[in-house]
Chains A and B, each alone.
Chain A
Amino acid sequence: MVVDELTDEAVDNLFHALADATRRDILRRSVQGEPSVSQLAGAYPMSFAAVQKHVAVLERAGLISKKRRGREQLVRTDRQAVHRAQQALDRLEAAWRGRVDRMSDLLTQVPDPREDKPTKGQDR
């Protein structure tokens, strides 16, 4: 989570932005690509203006930024690159630490499960 680095107002904006299913969906789509506002508008049963409002709420919360390309407005997630790299590696580290712990547990719990198989012909 990145919330602890933010001011109260920013946290309010962030949670307000994420407390709506449509906005969460817009955010998910913006993470996976760079949809234009009109593409997003086509994806929901609501007016272009309503979708634009949702995009504005996400932008205010610092979750996305808009970029103009020709006549289109593209929506993308925007955060500092180095910070992201650090975060990605931190998460990867946490994931692998968890895996190594589980591997260690397995090694002590089950000395070698292959020996449990009756096909090995062992009396157990």
Chain B
Amino acid sequence: MSVTSVEKDVDNLTLTLLADFDAPPARVWQLWADPRQLERWWGPPTHPATVEQHDLTPDGKVTYYMTGPEGEKYHGWWQVNAVNPPSSLEFNDGFADQNGTPIDDMPNSTVQMQLTEHKGGTQMNLRSTFATREQMEKLVSMNMVEGLQEAVGQMDALLAD
């Protein structure tokens, strides 16, 4: 079972997603609360995450980095706003520099996550909101640059064969 509904609100820069899991809320909560489990799903397969600090308490911090195919590291952080095991979690998610220090003018989003019992399993309600339109636009431009760069890199590789 997985994603059952997705809503995208362009005006409020918000993504709302519902997902169903075949496990009780306490078990799904572990995917967030156990750093070793978190790092197995947070990053995409090409950029696996390594969680360094993991403190899911109010004002607590989670720090992590994702490692790309070339060994490049992208550091990120969560700042926990509210936590209520095993049913809800709210945090800000942002980028950090190589030392793990948050970069203020880099895109930052708020994630609100709720777990409820649903049909013998768990429904996860996830809302992610970009902090500002400006930051969101920066993220898109960056992705665009990375995407095109990747394409150019692949072309280079083809030409070199």
Question: Interface residues, chain A, CB within 8 Å of chain B?
Answer: 1-3, 14-15, 18-19, 24, 27-28, 31-33, 77, 79, 81-82, 84-93, 95-108, 110-114
Contacts and interface: CB of A to CB of B under 8 A. Distances in A.
Interface in B139-161: 139-145, 147-149, 151-152, 155
Interface in B110-135: 124, 126, 128, 130, 133
11 contacts: A15-B155, A31-B138, A79-B140, A88-B13, A89-B14, A92-B15, A96-B15, A96-B17, A101-B2, A112-B27, A113-B30
Contacts of B105: 32-33
Given A24-B145, A91-B143, A106-B37, A86 B8 contact: yes
B137 interface: yes
Contact of A104 (B21, B138, B139, B147): B21
B27 A107 contact: yes
Interface stretch (B39-47, B54-62, B70-78, B79-87): B39-47
B1 A104 contact: yes
Contact of A102 (B13, B40, B148): B40
Nearest to A1: B147
Interface string B1-38: 11100101110011101010111000110110010110
Contacts of A31: 138, 141-142, 145
Contacts of B126: 96
Given A1-B148, A95-B44, A99-B41, A88 B136 contact: yes
B140 A91 contact: yes
Contacts of A3: 148, 151
Contact of A107 (B23, B44, B136, B140): B23
Nearest to B15: A92
B10 A18 contact: no
A90 B130 CA distance: 13
B31 A100 contact: no
Q: Which of A3, A93, A108 is the most central at the interface, judged by chain B CB atoms within 10 Å of its CB? A: A93
A106 B133 contact: no
A100 B34 CA distance: 16
Nearest to B19: A100
A89 B15 contact: yes
Interface in B81-120: 105, 109
B139 A88 contact: yes
Contacts of A85: 10, 13, 133, 136-137
